[in-house]
Chain A
Amino acid sequence: MSGLSRGFRLASEFAAAIIVGAGLGYLIDMVLPTRPWAMIVLLLLGFAAGVLNVVRATKEMNAATAVPADTPALRDDEDE
């Protein structure tokens, strides 16, 4: 998969969850007298769902492309 399509995939996963969250909240606010709270809460939950979508998509992509054998191990703070 090319870098462009990976980027587009992650961007659309993130944006879609936010749009759906905000839209769902807007619909609930139209029906129930909770305006504007359902939209605010669901918009924030939409952000969380977007992050979740991105994490899942990345996990999937990582599983699909094997790490090259000659990749050096990353240094971290524990090594100091």
Chain B
Amino acid sequence: MTDERLNVAESANPIEPIHQFKITDIFNIGTFGGDGTPGSGVHLAFTNSALFMVLTVGAIGLLLIWGTARQAIIPGRVQLLGEMLYEFVANMVRNTAGHDGMKFFPLVFSLFMFILVANLFGMFPYFFTVTSHLIVTVMMALLVFFTVVIYGFWKNGPKFLKIFVPSGIPFVVLLIVVPIEIISFLSRPLSHSLRLFGNILAGHIVLKVFGGMMVALLSAGAWGVLAILPFGMAVALTGLEFLVAALQAFVFAVLTCVYLHDAMHPGH
């Protein structure tokens, strides 16, 4: 089983644009349940994805611990960075979710920092991009979704259902509007997760395609001169990808605030 998987990993063409998203086991924990045949049971392993999640959390922890260690009145560089990140997210929460939304600040800040650092880690060559896997972004979107639902019902009781009933609409129209509002509400975690995943996946594939084109042209003799064209594209796209990495973390956090606002103040 393990040998087979290794062979597949080695035979895969590293220039192929999808190869970078391959999940590989770093060390095996074991297979639980199942009847011993290959593919049955739950296979647990510490993968490259898990490694980069740990590195992401470690980097954030180090940065913030280092930044808050000295608490100088005139901040040093790292302290300033930490304070700017705090102020940025705090202002976003206050503006979008309202002042009472600050009780969700830890959640929004954690999500923002995790996505931002994971996206930026993905920009290093040979690094694995955690947010390029749908399961990761879906879990974060579902976390927000269930926070909204549970907190909304806990805080407002059955009044939370007013979120599905716009005020000032005759009863007959409500029969159509309420199902539409319910579908619109249920579609939130999907669009929330698809956007982050899609942006990161597409960006990394495009980068790799231009990189692969460059390698192919360079190995084609005199035509190698043309490799300067995809090289220019790759340089420009790398800049764009840094923008996308920061922007998508911001968009994810802003939408989290918008949804949390609905949980606290149902009824439009």
Q: Does B186 contact A (CB under 8 A)?
A: yes
**From A5, A16, A19, A49, contact of B251 by CB (8 A):** A5
**From B184, B198, B243, contact of A52 by CB (8 A):** B184
A contact residues around B181 at 8 Å (CB): 49, 52
B contact residues around A12 at 8 Å (CB): 191, 194-195, 198
Q: How many Å from the CB of B198 to the closest CB on chain A?
A: 7
**In the complex, residue of chain B having the shortest beta-carbon distance to the beta carbon of A52:** B184
Report 27 cross-chain contacts, Cβ distance below 8 Å, ordered by A residue. A1-B247, A1-B251, A5-B247, A5-B248, A9-B251, A12-B194, A12-B195, A13-B191, A16-B191, A16-B194, A17-B191, A19-B187, A19-B190, A20-B190, A24-B183, A46-B187, A48-B176, A48-B180, A49-B180, A49-B184, A49-B187, A50-B187, A52-B181, A52-B184, A53-B187, A53-B191, A60-B258
Most buried by A among B187, B194, B258: B187
A contact residues around B199 at 8 Å (CB): 5, 8
In the bound complex, how far is the Cα of B248 from the Cα of A1, in angstroms?
Answer: 10
Q: Say what secondary structure dominates the interface of chain A.
A: helix
0/1 interface trace, chain B 124-161, chain A, CB 8 Å (1 if under) = 00000000000000000000000000000000000000
Q: Does A2 contact B (CB under 8 A)?
A: yes
In the bound complex, how far is the Cα of B259 from the Cα of A60, in angstroms?
Answer: 13
**A→B interface (CB under 8 Å):** 1-2, 4-5, 8-9, 12-13, 15-17, 19-21, 24, 42, 45-46, 48-50, 52-53, 60
Contact B195 A8 (CB under 8 A): yes
Whether A16 touches B187, Cβ cut-off 8 Å, given contacts A8-B195, A45-B180, A48-B180, is yes
Q: Does B244 contact A (CB under 8 A)?
A: yes
